[in-house]
Structure 1
């Protein structure tokens, strides 16, 4: 019997990268998966096709995680389609690098509207439909506990996520629902490729970005997206039934 047979899952931001691998892994374990995307319907459909080719079941639903009305529509449409909701994986997020004197109120609103408000309100919407045994996993980051130049807004937004799961755990626990977060480190995705160099000291940015990043990782390599997906699958399975309010570092031993 597959671990998630009979379950229905929403994975936000799952048309590419880590979110895609999470959606595929949950489907492989038997869940019916809602693949959420914001602007790339063709990429979402490609994920659906891959899941179906592996014998899984999935649908794609568009929703911008910075828009509360769209978040609510995503969840209600998923429940209308499948009749239940057991798992939420909130993966959608945006990066941000900017010096303190350059940060604008618009920057703050853009980053926090997706990384914090988006995760809070999709949790609120999903929890309405969950019963005992429900599983919620949000996405924090290793950035919440390491110092990186010009990364203040992003890091603050991810630290807020860890605070949310810690404080929502007892409230949701009264209903038998667990909530946790993952905190990925450097992962081999297109987003990481675009931003890897920014995670190093400005004076060292002429050096190969991979070498600098790997020098601070105990396992001396980037994570593969499927390794992050495996950690999420554990947290939404019965194997993690007594874990709630935690942020699980999946960072290869970042130091």
Structure 2
């Protein structure tokens, strides 16, 4: 099996970059995190797994992320949810298994609720539902609130590179898609992998989501020494095992 790539043309003319491995279904669809892209360790590991096992797999970059077009500062949860639905609708057929990392866990829940006839199961890694409202805003310093009120944007410092924009539009839009405390209208099997040493998504936040999901077939795995990325060899092995169980 080889991986193909292309551009998905959305309505507003900002194409989304995607890569796809053709194979047996259900199609595994990767939904990445906030400011991440489809070339990351976990997405690449799943592409390698799909290629080796003859499985169908799709990964993509949201609007303003990675190889896709658009300005990151113009992105919202509404837009990124629409991106995920466009990928499911236009690049896959039949049942899909969503694999969502961090923000992708939130987008996965929204997509599963919108496409219950298509989504068969979900694997969520350090899922961050409602992160704009419940995880991000409470940590803002006073200057962030001042900049948002004055300019509509705050350049947030990053441990991983240059400061990046957080806009008032993103925060207000995120609040409209809040899913906690639930119930979360997802009735399919769900596997959640969560690091106990995650500085970005506290494990109790992910556990709250596990309780809120309507499905009874939810397994929450706490990796006590795991961080937010869960990209070590043993973490990747757990991820692939969870995906294999559900496909």
TM-score normalised over the length of structure 1: 0.41
Considering Cα pairs closer than 8 Å and 6+ residues apart, tell me whether 1 or 2 has the greater RCO: 1
TM-score normalised over the length of structure 2: 0.42
Q: Which has the higher helix share?
A: 1
Q: Which has the higher strand share?
A: 2
